[in-house]
A and B are shown apart, each in its own frame.
Chain A
Amino acid sequence: MQGSKPRRNRFSQTQSAWLLLLPFLITYGLFLIYPFFRGVWISLHDWNLLAVAFNPDAKDFVGFRNYERVMWGRNIEWGFASPFWQGLGLLGLAASAFLRWVDRLSRFNAIALGMASLLLVVLPGFHPGEGGRWYDRRFWPTVGNTLVFVGLAVPGVTISALLLAAALNKQTKAMGALRTLFFLSQVLSVTVVTLIWQIMFSPRQGLIANITQAFGGTPINWLTDQQFAMAAIVIATIWWSLGIAMILFLAGLQDISADIYEAAALDNARGVKAFWYVTLPNLRRTITLVVVLQIILHFQVFGQSHLMTQGGPNDSTQVLVRYIYQTGFRDSELGRASAMAVFLFVIMGAFSVIQFVVGREDSQ
């Protein structure tokens, strides 16, 4: 290395680039890309965790049988089995077509609403016919519970975060302090959150029960009552994850110029009216982004269900990730668990694409 060429110019641009990329590419390939394909590979096998641990050859290639075992059944038929959801889907289809026709909906939103409605018409229609049954009775109810959780938590977080952000959108010390308070619970870990709320909801020791009793009411058995268990984990989740949504809304509100509000004030639109006619329309992109983000986040719910209710009572709070975890690590059925994980990935991937498209629209 004592040539006339200065030592510091040893690497060309291409060499430097690859050298700098190498550490990341190795970990990325080894611990994300490879496991992903390996997961798909496992899902095509009858793969028992313990059996394979003792004898690496104890796995049988079964093709798509695991997917069939998880999602399908014997004598499955299609029809109008659940009029409520399918009716809602038809209504959604009609609404998206109509709103697009009268031009109240952008093409993107019309397609999104239409697709969601179509799924709502098609999916609940499958049901076991005469003498038939689902191979896995728990899978679709689990997916349903996850959707119910998402359907309650996402609007809950979004609406409360939006209202708070609109109220706290002033750069003063007091407002800053209040923002800090509302954001604080966001940094806690899921186990701390569930610890707090498990005891908050406890019918014997809980703060909520203590308050109900002080007013002469009978305490509710939140976590073991089928009617309230889901509500309980949704409340804990809203308390936990309001912060990010609020901050994203605050960032969106900063982008609305004060001129618009002044112009609106001249037209006598202040307070609630200004919020409805100025803030909401200008925040549409941010709202879509927050909703998609929250869907991705809450579809992966695990800790709240696992620690607060253990999926119960009667499987009413069993969610998809917890079912994957149990199938894999309690029942040792890695093949079936991986098939469900691939299912999860497909849904998450679809929402990530939506998020990406919305984000791109945002930056243009």
Chain B
Amino acid sequence: MNRAYYWLILCLSIPAFIWLVPTIWMVSLSFQPNEVLARTTSSTAMGLVPIPFTAENYSALFAFGQTPWWFLNSLIVSVGMTIGVLAVSTTAGYALARLNFPGKIPITLICLIGLMVPEQAVFIPLYTMFADFGWHNSYHALILPRMAVPIGVFLMMQFFRAIPKDIEEAARLDGVGWMQIFWYVMLPLARPAMMTLAILTFLYAWNDYLWPLVSAQQREYFTITLGLASIQSNFAQSEGLGRVMASGVIASLPVVILFLIFQRYVVQAMTAGGSKG
């Protein structure tokens, strides 16, 4: 490592710090008393250091607000959607990648076409459908539409295609059925790909905004993303800046922790999701 390298690191630290400032500011404001924030947001070091310090915003959040409830909703919806997407994607992905059956090519093409349909193009008909079924304001209304998006099938299909054929053939010679091969041989091998897909789905579910906005009209069924949107339009009057910022921090915590622990998978998931749909 030479001098130029250290200079480069130093030069890049400045934009990196600027990049981080908005996040630091949110966290810092969430730890300052609302009375102070009503007067000024730049008490210490432009407000980037939480002095005067208080944790009251967080305790208030858990004592009254609906934030914990919304957080729970988000957790239920995100975990439910992740399990659902994994279930339909691994099975369909395996069938399309490794099994031969009449109609395989047309089915693959039909699934491929679905990648072109953006959520924004179907949310109105989905709304009327779910209204006809009386499904709005429920967890399954928030979960089901994303299970139909074929991106997961394609990720799994690509993964299964890359597994060498001899593993399967050896099992076939021993007289093992296709379903058993899928369950006992392929699924354990697919763990890394499933992990990537799970993270992609969880991030999407946690951060989704448009569909919950039209489907969940009762505050009891808001996800945290939606709840945060509902309180940020009038934050100054109602609850105080500190508490809104604390909600923002709580809302970001799971995805940030997920990101920091599984960074490799998150990056993989977001590039896979980004570059294919």
Contacts and interface: CB of A to CB of B under 8 A. Distances in A.
Given A42-B128, A182-B19, A210 B252 contact: no
Given A190-B225, A248-B274, 8 more contacts: A9-B177, A17-B178, A38-B128, A194-B229, A199-B245, A321-B210, A341-B121, A359-B275
20 contacts: A9-B175, A13-B100, A18-B95, A25-B92, A27-B148, A32-B150, A39-B122, A170-B5, A175-B9, A181-B20, A188-B207, A188-B252, A196-B23, A197-B22, A210-B46, A214-B46, A247-B270, A324-B124, A329-B214, A359-B276
A349 B112 CA distance: 12
Nearest to B208: A189
Interface of B is mostly: helix
Interface in B117-171: 117-129, 131, 144-145, 147-150, 153
A38 B125 contact: yes
Give the interface size bracket for B toward A: 35 or more
B228 A334 contact: no
Contact of B121 (A200, A244, A303, A348): A348
A325 B276 CA distance: 25
B148 A16 contact: no
Contacts of A353: 116
A192 B252 contact: yes
Interface string A269-303: 00000000000000000000100010011001011
A345 B117 contact: yes
A42 B126 CA distance: 11
Contacts of B233: 307
Given A20-B94, A27-B147, A199-B241, A324 B120 contact: yes
Interface of A is mostly: helix
A17 B26 contact: no
B61 to A, nearest CB: 14
Contacts of A17: 95, 99-101, 104, 178
Nearest to B111: A28
Contacts of A251: 271
Give the residue among B101, B121, B225 with the most A Cβ atoms within 10 A: B121
A167 B15 CA distance: 12
Contacts of B99: 13-14, 16-17, 20
Contact of B116 (A178, A239, A352): A352
B185 interface: no
Contacts of A180: 260, 263
A183 interface: yes
A325 B211 CA distance: 11
Contacts, number: 278
Interface string B200-232: 000100110110011000000000011011001
B114 interface: yes
Interface string B253-264: 001101110010
A17 B90 CA distance: 12
B120 A344 contact: yes
A243 interface: yes
A169 to B, nearest CB: 11
Contacts of A9: 175, 177
B22 A20 contact: no
Contact of A352 (B88, B94, B115): B115
B12 A178 contact: yes
Given A24-B153, A178-B16, A189-B206, A10 B116 contact: no
Contacts of A91: none
A230 interface: no
Given A32-B149, A293-B275, A192 B251 contact: yes
Contacts of B96: 21
Contacts of B179: 8, 11, 16, 19-20
Nearest to A299: B118
B266 interface: yes
A338 B124 contact: yes
Interface string B179-209: 1101000000000000000000001001101
Contacts of B182: 16, 20
Given A187-B258, A210-B47, A211-B46, A14 B120 contact: no
Contact of A307 (B13, B127, B232, B271): B232
Given A17-B101, A24-B153, A210-B42, A31 B148 contact: yes
B251 A191 contact: yes
